[in-house]
Amino acid sequence: MQICKYFCIFVHILSEKILFCNHKPHFVMQNLQEYIENHTTPEPELFARITRDTNLHVLNPHMLSGQVQGELLRMLSRMIRPKRILELGTFTGYSALCLAEGLQQDGELITIEHNDELEDTIRQNISQSPLCARIHLIIGDAKEILSNQQSVVSNQMFDLVFIDADKREYCAYYELVFPLVRQGGFILADNTLWDGHIVDPAYDKDKQTLGLREFNQMVADDPRVSQVILPLRDGLTIIYKH
């Protein structure tokens, strides 16, 4: 009888540990991710192909926005109906193509990428879209281009800016793009939770984590904007300029 009682307590503790302490959150998170993907609009054929090709031929394919975040970017752009969009960090063109879908009839998107090895891939991917004539790629360093008063970018106003380049430079990007965003316009910033490192003391010396922490604080302290961090994928911040 006594043995049976101790055995029951042991089984109870074990099951609590397995189900509720260590494994359940991971298991649930994985299932939730699959559930979200299965119940979000599937990628259109062009985007599925870009995802496939990026995974096959490009280093760090995880940097691509992907189905769920891509659909969110498409939706936000359709809600805003921007005339001009600026993107920092093109990679293989996935997010640029998503954002371009919300452009007004005569709207344009400029996207900046500093890795010239990606240029052919980006141009090839963009050329497959019916919106290709309205998407302009600039190869170069985002900060240099934004700081150059003579550049195509620095004398235009934008309705929507997507910051997704060097994580260490987000504060500089924010300060440089802010005057170029119209009142009532939006800035989106990707990776602002940085796989949770943003609140993990183990990453206190990591330069990208520090850059993103500083950026999140800078935005939180800025009375000119309202903002929300969405815990989607790696964190996406939506910033509204009053």
Ligand X SMILES: C[S@@+](CC[C@H](N)C(=O)[O-])C[C@H]1O[C@@H](n2cnc3c(N)ncnc32)[C@H](O)[C@@H]1O
Positions touching ligand X (CB under 6 A) are 63-65, 88-89, 91, 94-95, 112-115, 141-143, 164-166
Query: Measured from the CB atom, is 111 or 216 closer to ligand X?
Result: 111
Query: Measured from the CB atom, is 43 or 113 closer to ligand X?
Result: 113
Q: Rounded to an integer, what distance in angstroms lies between the CA atom of residue 156 and that of residue 179?
A: 10
Query: Measured from the CB atom, is 142 or 176 closer to ligand X?
Result: 142
- In this chain, which residue has its C-beta nearest to ligand X? 89
Smallest distance from the beta carbon of 68 to ligand X, in angstroms?
Answer: 12
Smallest distance from the beta carbon of 173 to ligand X, in angstroms?
Answer: 9
Smallest distance from the beta carbon of 222 to ligand X, in angstroms?
Answer: 22
Query: Measured from the CB atom, is 25 or 196 closer to ligand X?
Result: 196
Query: Measured from the CB atom, is 123 or 143 closer to ligand X?
Result: 143
Smallest distance from the beta carbon of 80 to ligand X, in angstroms?
Answer: 17
Smallest distance from the beta carbon of 16 to ligand X, in angstroms?
Answer: 40
